[in-house]
Amino acid sequence: MDPTIDQIIFLIVSILTLGAGFVVVTNRNLLYSALAMMASFLGVAAIYVLLDAGFLAAAQLLVYIGAISILVIFAIMMTRRLMQSTETSFNAQWGMGIFTALVVFGLFVAVIGNFWPLAPAAGQPLASGTAVPDGMLQDSIAALGRAFVSVDAFVIPFELASVMLLAAMVGAILVAWPKAEDEV
């Protein structure tokens, strides 16, 4: 059975993503880890594109690579000690870490397998599912926008998101900034 072009692309992209992820945890130079993390974010964005979710892919690029990675690198560079490449990336709890990761992975497989078949039934070809109609895709962004503000959809999460962003900003300033009385 020949794989389709989508499947080949998916394979390449996921190998790159996972490889970059592996570099993130094993590399001793923290900056290289951060760069590999960007590469792995990029791979995730490519997978979003393969899933016909162009908006999510662009958001991934804008937020995760353009903003959060920069934030992470600034954080690395603010802490002098971490910039030396002598840090080891393992601490005493690496065994527990692997165990937790495996448990979470198993959980994901179980949950996803509960809703969608993980492998095709016997005799069925390994192919992509039903294609999404083009009209629905063209309308998807507007549909998302409508869902954000309609009462019977996501209006509460939408407003909560803004409260959460506010809390994050205020909290970070409280933590990172000297207290008011220290100021002149």
Partner 1 sequence: MFSDWQFIAIFVVLSPIFPLLPVAVNRLLGPQRPNPIKQETYECGIETVGDTWVQFKVQYYIYALVFVVFDIEAVFLFPIASAYNQLGLFAVLEVVLFVVLLATGLAYAWSRGVLEWV
Partner 2 sequence: MSFGILEFLKSLIDLTVFDYMRGVWGDQRFVEPVLDLIGALVVSTFCLLIVIFLIWLERKVIARMQDRIGPNRVGGKFGLLQTVADVLKLLSKEMITPAAADWWPYNLAPLLIVIASLLMWAVLPFAPGVLGVDLNIGLFYVLAVSSISVVSLLLAGWGSNNKYALLGAYRSIAQLVSYEVPMILSLLVPILLASSMSTIDIINAQTVPFILVVPISALIFFISALAETGRTPFDLLEADSEIVAGFHIEYGGMKFGMFFLAEFIGTLFMSGLFATVYLGGYRLFGLEEFVTGGGWALGRLLGLVVFFIKMFAVYFVFIWVRGTLPRFRIDQMLNFNWKFLVPLTLALVLMVAVVEKLPFMASLGDVSRAGVHLFANLLLGLVTLEILRRFARKQRMAQEEKLAARAAVNSGSEPGNLAPEAVAAH
Tell me the HSE value of 131 on the side-chain side, using a 13 A CA sphere.
Answer: 4
- Tokens 């996501």 belong to 154
- What Å distances lie between residue 182 and 97, 157, 170, 175, CA to CA? 40, 37, 18, 14
Contact indicator for 82, 76 with CB cutoff of 8 Å = yes
Q: Does 177 bind partner 2 (CB under 8 A)?
A: no
Q: Does 38 bind partner 2 (CB under 8 A)?
A: yes
Alpha carbon 121 to its chain centroid, in Å, reads 30
Tell me the HSE value of 21 on the side-chain side, using a 13 A CA sphere.
Answer: 11
Query: Which one of partner 2, partner 1, none is in contact with 176 (Cβ closer than 5 to 8 A by kind)?
Result: partner 1
In the set 11, 15, 18, 71, which binds partner 1 (CB under 8 A)?
Answer: 71
Binding segment toward partner 1, per CB under 8 A, in 16-24, 76-84, 92-100, 119-127:
76-84
Measured CA to CA, the distance from residue 181 to residue 57 in angstroms comes to 44
Nearest residue (CB) to partner 2, 3 versus 66: 66
In the set 134, 152, 181, 182, which binds partner 1 (CB under 8 A)?
Answer: 134
In the set 116, 119, 163, 181, which binds partner 1 (CB under 8 A)?
Answer: 163
Q: Does 155 bind partner 1 (CB under 8 A)?
A: yes
CB atoms within 10 A of CB 146: 12
Q: Does 9 bind partner 2 (CB under 8 A)?
A: no
Measured CA to CA, the distance from residue 74 to residue 95 in angstroms comes to 29
Binding site for partner 1 (CB under 8 A): 6, 9, 49-50, 52, 54-55, 59, 62-63, 66-68, 70-71, 74-75, 77-80, 83, 132, 134, 137-138, 141-146, 148-151, 155, 158-159, 161-163, 165-166, 168-170, 172-173, 176-177, 180, 183
